[in-house]
Amino acid sequence: MALSWLQRLELVLFTTAFLCGAVAAAALTRTQGSFSGSCPLYGVAAQNGSSLALSSPSASSLCYFVAGVSGLLALYCLLLLLFWIYSSCIEDSNRGPVGLRIALVVSVIAVFLILVTACILRFGTSSLCSSIISLKIATSCPEAQKIPWTPPGTAVHFYNNLHNAETSSWVNLVLWALILVLQVVQWKSKAAPFRPLEKGDPEWSSETDALFTPRSPLS
């Protein structure tokens, strides 16, 4: 099956979206694991001697939600890529109007969910960093990574991981928005009504000339 250039571009965007979603989910999961399962987003840090501790973490479900959305959408992109590779190599299948409508609905939901998760990462990380800076033990979150945390080994590269998760989420949002635009363009092109030929059309003139113009006799 020969895919159109719009579908090929869509698959390229899905491939990149898969990578971004996987990076975001892995980075946040790694950060939550370094805090012994506690969610640092919107958390409050406290000073414990010369070290830091996460005194008031957020509900673990908040991090589970953000990581789950990123991971499930990445899995959706992967399955979709495998399906189209299988269809292109083995079967002669094409996405009909119903499949395109379903893809549009999924893309709209995905854009909304990724926007929510990106905002949670942005403001949740900012809230944690503000809490750390207010203790005056560090001037920035990157600097706070060099300070020991309680218990030992906690919060290893926590800011780098949260920053990577947030950046991947914003990039993922742009990619899904582009995917949505491409799908809308394909839907409009398939939904364009058929218009019969009229007398003013060049095709009409060529067809009528061929029918009504007498042919010269063979020599």
pLDDT tens profile 100-131: 888 899 999 999 999 999 999 999 999 999 99
Q: What band does 90 get if pLDDT is binned at 50, 70 and 90? A: low
Contact status, residue 124 vs residue 141, Cβ threshold 8 Å: no
* Residue 204 pLDDT: 47
Q: What is the mean pLDDT of residues 80-105?
A: 77
* Residue 134 CA, distance from chain mean position: 34
8 Å CB contact between 177 and 20:
no
Q: How far is CA 40 from the centre of its chain?
A: 23
Choice between 39 and 189, residue whose per-residue pLDDT is larger:
39
Determine the average pLDDT of the residues in 34-59: 89
Q: Which of 40-44, 82-86, 133-137, 149-153 is modeled with the greatest confidence?
A: 40-44
Residue 53 sits at φ, ψ, to 5 deg, of -145, 150
pLDDT of 165 reads 96
Answer whether residue 218 shows pLDDT above 70: no
Q: What angle do CA 68, 133, 172 make, to 5 degrees?
A: 30
Consecutive H or E run containing 131? helix 97-134
Q: Give the pLDDT mean for 23-49.
A: 91
Range from 83-87, 162-166, 172-176 carrying the lowest mean pLDDT: 83-87
Residue 169's pLDDT is 96
| pTM for the full predicted model | 0.81
